[in-house]
Amino acid sequence: MKKEKSLIREEILSIKPYIPGKPIEEVKRELGLKEVIKLASNETSIGPSPLAVEAIKKEADNVNLYPDGSSRILREKLAQKLKLDKEMIIIANGGDNIIKLTGMAFINKDDEVIMGEITFPVYESVVKIMGGKIIPVKLKDYTYDLESIIQRVNKRTKLIVVCNPNNPTGTIVTKEAVDKFMRNVPEDVIVVFDEAYCDYVEDDNYPDSLSYVREGKNVIVLRTFSKIAGLAGIRVGYAIAKQELIGYLRRVVDIFSVNRLAQVAALASLDDEEHKRKVLRLNKEGKGYLYKELKKLGLFYVPTETNFIFIDLKKDTKVIFEELLKKGIIIRPGVTWGCPDFIRVTIGTPYENKKFIQALKEVISI
């Protein structure tokens, strides 16, 4: 009988399974709590777009039918909004799925993929699955260091991934930095801009990544309906690139990867400007409140352009994480990114933010 190890692809042996934020239901069950506040996964605390919910209700009677495999109507609406050809857009089962499709379509064994050292861990997993080699580059002031990334490019480089804004630090690389960076990227290297949190950015120096797509560069822009639209539970993400690159992604996309309810919900959310304004207003107010309270506690935090804050507690946060759980507050410990002294906290509603600060004050001296 073969040893178990011999049955497994060598490439996946070094992969650590991605551990998402603990579900509210699980914490309630484990700890016997009636109220649990989740500030771990950067979900939209005020819920989804009401227009999206209504669209789901209307479509529910049709779930016996397969969905449109290409999400044509949603692509057309996005194309109109972005002033692009619909053939430059692919819709998939969340942003994570787009990242996997990108790896499947473009990464060969031993291809090098450059990314930030502290960033979204799914990039690393996908590269390893495909047998590629990860080239991590240290962040500079908690931000992607594009100049250092360019210095690491060589003939084996296939992809460069830029998470902008970066998860978990919440920082952005500016238009000036990206313009300079793009002038130095070789033509045979694909640049992936993961912009899952782009809707939250307030800084006017945020780059227009779609301009590089319009110029015909080898750029793939990733976006999602999970954050600003509040549709994380039904999984809709999309990529924007020139038709040639989108064509390769279509070769590896799952059949019927986006269900009917997700498609109509995403479509409806594009018209809900009122919901978007409400989310952004509450996020800005919540950010200001948390900044003020964290300063009172003498804690360092990284100023954010997203709906989460990266906070340095100056101690191993595993104990803090567990103690906050006991008080019904779920946050994300920084060990996920190799930053054991940090926590990442989603900016919630006013009530949720106050409950978090109150609980943090109670456990921070433990």
**CATH (residue range 50-269):** 3.40.640.10
Instruction: Specify the pLDDT at position 1.
Output: 44
> So where are the chain's domains?
4-47+273-363, 50-269
Q: Which of 149-152's residues contact partners 24+ apart within 8 Å by CB, and which partners?
A: 149/114, 149/181, 150/181, 150/184, 150/185, 152/114
The amino acid at residue 15 is I
In sequence order, what are the residues at sequence separation of 6 or more whose Cβ sits closer than 8 angstroms to the Cβ of residue 28? 34, 36
Instruction: Specify the pLDDT at position 30.
Output: 87
Look up the pTM and report it: 0.94
4-47+273-363 belongs to which homologous superfamily?
Answer: Aspartate Aminotransferase, domain 1 (3.90.1150.10)
Q: Smallest Cα–Cα separation from 89: which of 99, 106, 102, 76?
A: 76
Beta-carbon count within 10 A of 47 CB: 13
Q: Is the pLDDT confidence value at 209 over 50?
A: yes
List strand residue ranges (DSSP E) for 184-233, in order. Answer: 190-194, 219-224
For 184-195, how does the pLDDT look when each residue is reduced to its tens digit (9 = 90+)? Answer: 999 999 999 999
Nearest-angstrom CA–CA distance, 98 and 121: 14
Model confidence band, residue 5 (pLDDT cutoffs 50, 70, 90):
low
Q: Smallest Cα–Cα separation from 337: which of 103, 124, 194, 192?
A: 124
Identify the residue with better confidence: 274 or 22: 274
In sequence order, what are the residues at sequence separation of 6 or more whose Cβ sits closer than 8 angstroms to the Cβ of residue 150? 181, 184, 185
Instruction: Specify the pLDDT at position 22.
Output: 76
Mean pLDDT across the stretch 14-28? 81
What average pLDDT is seen over the chain? Answer: 95
Instruction: Specify the pLDDT at position 4.
Output: 58
Model confidence band, residue 3 (pLDDT cutoffs 50, 70, 90):
low
- Cis (ω within 30 of 0) for the bond into 165? yes
Instruction: Specify the pLDDT at position 14.
Output: 83
Chain-centroid distance, C-alpha 211 = 21
What burial letters (b/e) apply to 173-207, b meaning 16+ CB within 10 Å? bbbebbeebbeebeeebbbbbbbbbbbbbeeeebb
E strand or H helix at 117? none
In sequence order, what are the residues at sequence separation of 6 or more whose Cβ sits closer than 8 angstroms to the Cβ of residue 332? 21, 40, 41, 168, 343, 344, 345
Mean pLDDT across the stretch 84-113? 97
For 284-317, how does the pLDDT look when each residue is reduced to its tens digit (9 = 90+)? Answer: 999 999 999 999 999 999 999 999 999 999 999 9
Instruction: Specify the pLDDT at position 129.
Output: 95
